[in-house]
Amino acid sequence: MKKSLYLYLLLVTTPAAAQLTDTLTLSLPEVIDMARERSISARQAATLRETRYWEYRSFKSNYQPQLALTGILPAYTKSFNQVIQPDGTALFQPVHNNNSTLDLSFTQSIAATGGMIFGSTNLQRFDDFDRHTTQYSGSPYGIGYSQPLWQFNALKWNKKIEPLRYYESRQAYIEDMEQVAIRATGYYFDLLLAQVNLQTARTILKNTAHIQEVANVKLELGKISRNEILQLKLEQLKASKAVGIASRDLQIASLNIRTYTGLDTTQYIQLQLPDEMMHISVPADKVLAEAYANRSDAIAFVRRLAEAKRDVAKAKGDNGINAMLTARLGYSNSARTVAKVYQNPQDQQLVQLEFSIPILDWGRARSRTRTAEANLKFTEYAVEQDKQLFVQQIVTQVTLFDLMKDQLQLTAGADSIASEKSDISRERYVLGNLSITDLSIAFQEKDQARRDYIAALRDYWSAWYQIRYLSLYDFELQKKIDYK
């Protein structure tokens, strides 16, 4: 009789492997790739990277030669203008003319000095319609140089800071993509745990129902009490409730992962259990070295100090003393025809020094300089503190990753033991030498051990992608992370 009961329980508690034709099976790398390609976060990161690229292109254009064509063509006038006479009186005379100009000029900034080389060629035509005369005036060519004196050189400092800012934005894009991987991993394990919970709840409900049938046979044979039957019914109700909760959690987790990855298929998503990568070594000194070489935060440390030093230089340069030295050499001429303007032009020379010196500013310039110097000290202290937090975060994460590897091995062993114990407890209950309470405890321990293993897997893979994010280095492939 005991043998027949055991065979009956073994048959009814073995889950059927139903093959779903409309099931989409995905692994963790596949979900992460979809998120990097389709998620809103990834698209926002790509758009921001493109914006930063064109901003950097715009900055670089400031150091390239600029060529411009300007003019007023035509400049027709017909009116009355006030004309002062020799005796001081004013007469309004009719004016009817055209005064058109055309100018082609180029400029080239010199970052080292802050000065500018410039050159131009221009032509002017004046038509007096009242007197029926036409005159031309122009400068065939001219070149000059203007140099600010004792002033802040914005070109020099921007040439130091803007490349750092652009490189920082490029690395920030890689960090954003790694953040996408971290979030996708979270959604992946949310759904995986929900699937495991639903599968476990259904299995427990099915086993409880089958054990209930076996217990009814035992009750007819007088081998168990009525109280044990009631306990089984209570367990069956609890299992039914667990199935409902797990189904709800599964729907929520499935919707979240579909929304984040942009997966619009109506297929049922079946997730694969990720493998373990216990052989990978992640030395803390290597992570720290790669972080300082790759992270946008590390680049920002240098940029922030450079910006603070720039502000000090600007405060000292903007001290109220402004001077501009300008020199220009060229040729000019005027004639009745265009061709004669370019024949035998006359020398054109210009040298001038413009300056402005404050006599009394009540300490304004000195106050601005002292404020900038104080901000520089504050930035140095803040950067030093951020560096300490930077290092601490990396060392802590490497330690956590090593702990997660150990925890994963322990939970995997506990999962195996709990599963074997559950099978033995079921056999012992069929044979009649185990109570229903002990059987229920064995099922609960198996369920919890499985959940603990999934949670350990989640912690392990989350820590792995955190290491990638903190270092921007792939320790599996032994290379820097980059996205084209």
Alpha helices for 268-363 (secondary structure H): 284-294, 296-317, 338-341
The token pair at 125 is 């035509």
pLDDT computed for residue 142 by the predictor? 92
pLDDT in tens, 209-243: 766 666 666 666 656 656 666 776 777 788 788 88
Calpha distance 201→244 (Å, rounded): 9
Calpha distance 367→48 (Å, rounded): 38
**pLDDT band at residue 462 using 50, 70 and 90 as cut-offs:** very high
Calpha distance 297→303 (Å, rounded): 10
Cα dihedral 401→405→410→412 (10° resolution): 120
Sequence-separated (6 or more) residues with CB below 8 Å from residue 432: 2, 218, 223
pLDDT computed for residue 218 by the predictor? 62
Total residue count of the chain as it appears in this document: 484
Residue at token pair 């963790």: 28
Beta bridge mates, 25: 270
Mean pLDDT of the region 180-199: 93
Please give the DSSP secondary-structure letter assigned to residue 462: H
Calpha distance 370→441 (Å, rounded): 73
C-beta separation of 430 from 211 below 8 A: no
Indicate the pairing of strand 23-26 with strand 268-271: parallel
**pLDDT band at residue 448 using 50, 70 and 90 as cut-offs:** confident
Mean pLDDT across the chain, nearest whole number? 85
Calpha distance 135→335 (Å, rounded): 6
The token pair at 50 is 């493109």
C-beta separation of 390 from 297 below 8 A: yes
Beta bridge mates, 69: 104
**pLDDT band at residue 429 using 50, 70 and 90 as cut-offs:** low
pLDDT, greater one: 212 or 345:
345
Query: For 409-428, b where at least 16 C-beta lie within 10 A, e where not — what string?
Result: eebbebbeebeebbeebbee
pLDDT computed for residue 202 by the predictor? 85
pLDDT computed for residue 348 by the predictor? 85
Q: The dihedral of CA 368, 371, 375, 376: what is its sign?
A: positive
pLDDT computed for residue 58 by the predictor? 93
Angle, helix 284-294 to helix 364-431, in steps of 10 degrees: 140
Sequence-separated (6 or more) residues with CB below 8 Å from residue 223: 432
What's the longest Cα–Cα distance across the chain? Answer: 141
Nearest to 123 by CA among 66, 67, 71, 77: 71
pLDDT in tens, 266-303: 778 889 988 776 678 889 999 999 999 999 999 999 99
What's the burial of 105, exposed, middle or buried (CB within 10 Å: 0-12/13-18/19+)? Answer: middle
**pLDDT band at residue 57 using 50, 70 and 90 as cut-offs:** very high
**Helix, coil or strand: residue 322:** strand
Calpha distance 125→334 (Å, rounded): 10
Nearest to 204 by CA among 245, 152, 239, 168: 239
Residue 12 scores a pLDDT above 70: no
Nearest to 381 by CA among 312, 314, 308, 313: 308
Calpha distance 189→457 (Å, rounded): 8
Calpha distance 221→408 (Å, rounded): 46
Please give the DSSP secondary-structure letter assigned to residue 66: E
Phi, psi angles (nearest 5°) of residue 321: -85, 110
The model scores a pTM over 0.95? no
Q: The dihedral of CA 32, 37, 41, 42: what is its sign?
A: positive
C-beta separation of 73 from 101 below 8 A: yes
Calpha distance 166→172 (Å, rounded): 10
The token pair at 126 is 């004046």
Cα dihedral 437→441→444→450 (10° resolution): -150
* Residue 389 burial (CB count, 10 A): 10
Beta bridge mates, 149: 323
pLDDT in tens, 124-167: 999 988 888 999 999 988 999 999 998 899 999 999 999 999 99
pLDDT, greater one: 427 or 220:
427
